Amino acid sequence: MTDGALGKHVVTVTLLPSGRSMEVVAGTRLHEVLVAHGGESPCGGNGTCRGCRVKVVQGSCLVTERQRELLLPRELREGWRLACQCMLTEDVAVLQAAAPAVVLVDDAVDRFIAEAGYGIAADIGTTTLAVQLVDLQNGRVRGLRTALNPQATLGADIMSRLEAAGRGEAAALTASIRQCVGDMIAALLQQYDVPASHLKRVFLVGNTVMHHLFCGLSVEPLSHVPFETTDGGLSILPSSSTFSFLCDNTEVVFLPCLGGFVGSDILAGTAAVQLLQAQGLTLLVDLGTNGEIVLGQGGVALCASTAAGPAFEGARISCGMRAGEGAIWRVTDERGELRADVIGNCEPVGICGSGLVDAVAAAVRLGLVTSTGRLKDGRLLNVAPGVTLTQADIRQLQLAKAAVSAGIAVLLERWGTEHGRVETIFLAGAFGNYISIPSAIQIGLFPCGADRITAAGNSALRGARKLLCAGDKRLDQAELVVASVQHIPLAADPAFLDYYVDQMSFPQPDAKPIELGVPL
Buried b or exposed e, range 209-231, using 16+ CB within 10 angstroms: bbbbbbbebebebbeeeebbbee
pTM for this structure?
Answer: 0.81
**260 within 8 A of 274, measured Cβ to Cβ:** no
- Residue 98: per-residue pLDDT: 52
Q: Which domain holds residue 7?
A: 2-96
Backbone torsions φ then ψ of 2, nearest 5 degrees: -120, 135
* Average pLDDT over the chain, rounded to an integer: 87
Identify the band that residue 515 occupies on the pLDDT scale cut at 50, 70 and 90: very low
Structural domain tally of the chain?
1
Buried b (16+ CB within 10 A) or exposed e, 259-278: bbbbbbbbbbbbbbbebbeb
Query: 30-39, 303-312, 381-390: which has the minimum mean pLDDT?
Result: 30-39
Q: For the segment 105-154, what is each residue's pLDDT rounded down to a tens digit?
A: 676 767 778 899 999 999 999 888 999 999 999 999 999 999 888 887 77
- Sequence length of the chain is 520
The least confident of 357-371, 390-404, 412-426, 455-469 is: 412-426
Whether 102 is covered by a domain: the verdict is no
Share of the chain above pLDDT 70, in %: 90
Above 90 in pLDDT, residue 210? yes
Task: Specify the higher pLDDT residue, 317 or 411.
Answer: 411
How much is the average pLDDT of 422-445?
89
The CATH number of the domain where 27 resides is what? 3.10.20.30
State yes or no: pLDDT of 101 exceeds 60: no
DSSP letter (8 states) at residue 89: -
> What is 254-308 written as a DSSP string?
EPPP-BTTB-HHHHHHHHHTTGGG-SS-EEEEE-SSEEEEEEEETTEEEEEEEE-
Residue-wise pLDDT tens digits, 464-484: 999 999 999 999 999 999 999
pLDDT score of 520: 31
Specify the higher pLDDT residue, 517 or 219: 219
pLDDT-derived band at 39 (thresholds 50, 70, 90) equals: low
Lowest mean pLDDT among 94-98, 247-251, 384-388: 94-98
Mean pLDDT of 363-370: 92
Helix 353-365 and helix 391-415, axial crossing angle in degrees, nearest 10: 100
Does the structure show a pLDDT above 90 at 339?
yes
pLDDT given for residue 119 in this prediction: 97
Determine the pLDDT at residue 8: 64
Q: Domain for residue 494, yes or no?
A: no
According to the model, what pLDDT value does residue 48 have? 72
Backbone φ and ψ of 398, nearest 5°: -60, -45
Looking at residues 393-415, what average pLDDT do you find? 93
Identify the CA nearest to 355 among candidates 406, 399, 311, 402: 311
The answer to whether residue 130 is domain-embedded is no
Share of the chain above pLDDT 90, in %: 57
DSSP code of 163?
Answer: H
**Angle in degrees, 0-180, between the axes of helices 391-415 and 494-502, rounded to the nearest 10:** 130
- Residue pLDDT, tens place only, 243-280: 999 988 999 999 999 999 999 999 999 999 999 999 99
433, 168 contact by CB (below 8 A): no
Q: What is the mean pLDDT of residues 159-174?
A: 92
Higher per-residue pLDDT: 510 or 409: 409
Residue 212 lies in a domain: no
Q: Which residue has the higher pLDDT, 53 or 263?
A: 263
CB-CB contact of 458 with 130 (8 Å): yes
User: Which pLDDT score, from 0 to 100, does residue 419 have?
Assistant: 46
Q: Stretch 502-515: mean pLDDT, rounded?
A: 70
Q: In this structure, is residue 63 part of a structural domain?
A: yes
* Per-residue pLDDT band at 52 (split at 50, 70, 90): confident
Residue 57 in any domain: the answer is yes
Classify residue 142: in a domain, yes or no: no
Query: What does 313-375 look like in DSSP terms, one character per residue?
Result: GTTTSTTB--SSTTEEEEEEEETTEEEEEETTSS---EE-HHHHHHHHHHHHHTTSB-TT-PB
Residues 447 and 412: beta-carbon distance below 8 Å: no
Residue 393: predicted pLDDT:
94
Is the model more confident about 19 or about 463? Answer: 463
Report which listed range, 14-23, 30-39, 203-212, is most confident: 203-212
Position 5 pLDDT exceeds 50: no
Q: Is residue 36 part of a domain?
A: yes
Q: What is the mean pLDDT of residues 310-317?
A: 80
pLDDT at 103 over 70: no
Give backbone dihedrals phi and psi of 133, rounded to 5 degrees, phi first.
-95, 120
Other beta carbons within 10 angstroms of residue 344's beta carbon come to 14
